[in-house]
A = this chain, B = another copy of it.
């Protein structure tokens, strides 16, 4: 695909009616229509870039409106000028003083910047005929440093330190690329433990997940401690029972080090989605100690690095770790989480921060501070996105995937032209199509059906004739 100049763009408000089945419910987010604020950037050739950011329904239009404002600033730019110094492009993108006032670098304007920036990187990868991860792992260390967003984080990591780190990893890149192509990237499943699910459904899904090869399971908690203990024990009773293990299953002991794994090597994590204050989080998690979890995810407000550090310190004696990041709104929050030793796991999101440039900086910081990167996924499109990030992290940055697991939720992949997929060992396959870019292109039919409010589904729903959604992975 080729093109020389950005000529325009279209934005789309796409909402999937996930609210009907309890998928995606947690202690904070009780009603979710997984949605994409989606942009397609056009050029004077056949080169296009697709990007999106994720919301859970209402307000997707506000983000779309902000995407228009951000994208208007890049119309008319030469694509090779952008690709020639994509670090400078990111600086330009976040640098409009008037838009910056609306954040700075957070909330709606930053979500919008993410969609636009991701679309430009998608276009960059397609122009070079590579999936996005491959475009970036083929960068020289100098190119990667030039692309990364160091502003405001040099007290934690300087470009010079980053360059040194990347150079040390250069030699093994080819071998790691071959390895991960062969065995896939480690994944965990969140699909078994949403709050809206019955015990029977949790039981069935847990067994299915074991048979799909998963050995890391995440449970949503925080609404009721007794309920959480019951559901957690239910999952543990299944995943700790050797009789339930699929034939030929092997777990490398190195991958479960420090993860509070049970007798079969299976690991349980819990996620509170920010429902607690700091003292509450500590008290509540002490009660969940019997579940022997690897980490508590999002125990409190995502902005509160000091609070996460206090929680982690208090739970350390119980061997419970802390994870957060899906709502950490920029690299400065991650910097503080790392500087205060507040987390065991860095959970980046593909479109909460301002896209690839900022994510490179965050992955570099995580590597320096020795924390594994385990991206947030699920929702819609996020799994398609994050496999690229984890591949970049493993092949070019951290050089390690023993402690990492990438979230997987089997929802809504059928709407994407290049959907992510899981191999029989419960690991992400590596995206390989030279045309897939950042893998986020949606089918036109899906967009026509789920455009809000004018798509065929929503028009029917408004008339009281909503068809039963046919999402793969969404069950009765």
Residues of A within 8 A of B (CB): 28-33, 55-59, 61-63, 65-66, 69, 96-111, 151-155, 274, 277-280, 300-307, 310, 327, 329-330, 332-333, 335-336, 339-340
Contacts and interface: CB of A to CB of B under 8 A. Distances in A.
B106 A106 contact: yes
B104 A29 contact: no
24 contacts: A29-B97, A31-B98, A33-B98, A56-B97, A56-B98, A58-B96, A59-B101, A62-B69, A62-B108, A62-B109, A65-B65, A104-B327, A107-B109, A108-B108, A108-B109, A152-B278, A152-B307, A154-B280, A303-B303, A304-B336, A305-B305, A306-B336, A306-B339, A307-B332
Contacts of A107: 102-103, 106-110, 329
A22 to B, nearest CB: 14
A272 to B, nearest CB: 13
Nearest to A307: B155
Given A32-B98, A59-B101, A303-B336, 7 more contacts: A32-B97, A55-B101, A56-B97, A58-B98, A63-B102, A155-B278, A306-B335
B335 A304 contact: yes
Contacts of A151: 277
A411 to B, nearest CB: 16
B57 A62 contact: no
Q: In the assembly, how many copies of this chain are there?
A: 2
A98 B336 contact: no
B62 A66 contact: yes
A57 B98 CA distance: 6
B277 A152 contact: yes
A279 B160 CA distance: 15
A59 B98 contact: yes
Given A29-B97, A155-B278, A301 B109 contact: no
A110 B105 CA distance: 14
A274 B94 CA distance: 14
Nearest to A31: B97
Nearest to A352: B101
A264 B107 CA distance: 45
B98 A274 contact: no
Contacts of A101: 29, 55-56, 59
A339 B340 CA distance: 13
State the majority secondary structure of interface residues on A.
loop
Contacts of A57: 98
Could you say which of A63, A101, A335 has the most chain B C-beta atoms within 10 Å of its C-beta? A101
Given A305-B306, A307-B155, A99 B58 contact: yes
Contacts of A303: 105-106, 303, 329-330, 332-333, 336
Nearest to A54: B101
A278 B154 CA distance: 7
Contacts of A100: 28-29
A58 to B, nearest CB: 4
Q: Which 8 A-B pairs have the closest CB atoms?
A: A107-B107, A108-B108, A155-B278, A58-B98, A152-B301, A57-B98, A306-B336, A154-B277
Contacts of A59: 66, 69, 98-99, 101-102, 109
Contacts of A301: 104-105, 152, 332
Contacts of A98: 31-33, 55-59
A257 to B, nearest CB: 29
A111 B104 contact: no
Contacts of A56: 97-98, 101
A277 B58 contact: no
A96 B108 CA distance: 15
A116 B274 CA distance: 24
Given A58-B99, A59-B101, A97-B31, A329 B106 contact: yes
A249 B130 CA distance: 72
Contact of A62 (B62, B105, B106, B330): B62
A353 to B, nearest CB: 12
A212 B352 CA distance: 48
A102 B55 CA distance: 7
A327 B66 CA distance: 20
Contact of A102 (B28, B108, B339): B108
A56 to B, nearest CB: 5
B274 A104 contact: yes
Contacts of A108: 62, 66, 102, 107-109
B109 A155 contact: no
Contacts of A62: 62, 65-66, 69, 102, 108-109
